[in-house]
Chains A and B, each alone.
Chain A
Amino acid sequence: MEDSEILQILKVAEEDSKWFSEKYEQLQTKYEGRVLGIKNKTVVGDAESVEELLNTVQKKGEDTAYMLIETIPGKDVSFIL
């Protein structure tokens, strides 16, 4: 893969990651405990598991290759890594 292509993918992924971080509290209210697919600053799908998410997003005709996969733990969940 060409460097320019990787840079473009990274730029979009970084923007999506930043968007997810900034909107985290809002998204937590709606998607607590879910697995989210994020692309172009949009939640393109949510599901209980990654497998279900991939199936849901692919059924919508979306390409999952460069979709960010994020989770939103329940508000009562905290863990020390």
Chain B
Amino acid sequence: MPKILCSLRALVGRRFFPFVTFFLTSSHINKAIDAIVDTGSPYTVLSTNEILGTRLPIHTMQKGETVALAGHRFFRYLINNVGMSFRTETGELFKTKLSSIAALVPTKLDKKTLNDVKDIPSIIGHDFLEENKIAFYFNPSAKITYLEY
């Protein structure tokens, strides 16, 4: 089965967390993005930092369902018709199209809030894995992690 390798990053408490890099394409965004793979997240989301990095007008994106994450509230602003591409272990491209992906847009956009949420990463969630029939392997003690499709 083809694999997409993930990297391990000791974010907090010297515990390793799985990250994967993908390329996002939409009408306004062409960008490589690092995301944590989090099977506990129902949603795949782009972090506030990634949205700010595109220089899209974030103040016009305060729309959509609200979600709570890491003690903060966000709008799930939907970016429609996106493509996500991953590089496989054998150097090929795994491409998938989504009708939409959510961006985490804080309900408050003041300097303090943006500073408080800047460490929250983009997330590959349960929805993406299920819809694309992707399995996730994570063996932290052996430091092995990958996606498999």
Contacts and interface: CB of A to CB of B under 8 A. Distances in A.
Are A and B co-members of a single complex? yes
Nearest to A19: B7
Interface residues of A, number: 35
Given A6-B93, A14-B21, A81 B123 contact: yes
Chain B interface: which size bin?
35 or more
A62 interface: no
A35 B32 contact: no
A10 B32 contact: yes
Given A11-B87, A21-B7, A81-B41, A54 B93 contact: no
**5 nearest CB pairs, A to B:** A13-B32, A50-B52, A78-B12, A21-B9, A73-B119
9 contacts: A7-B87, A7-B92, A10-B86, A50-B49, A50-B52, A54-B55, A73-B119, A79-B70, A81-B36
Interface of B: 7-13, 19, 21-23, 25, 30-32, 34, 36, 38, 40-41, 49-50, 52-53, 55, 69-71, 85-87, 91-93, 95, 111, 114-115, 118-120, 123
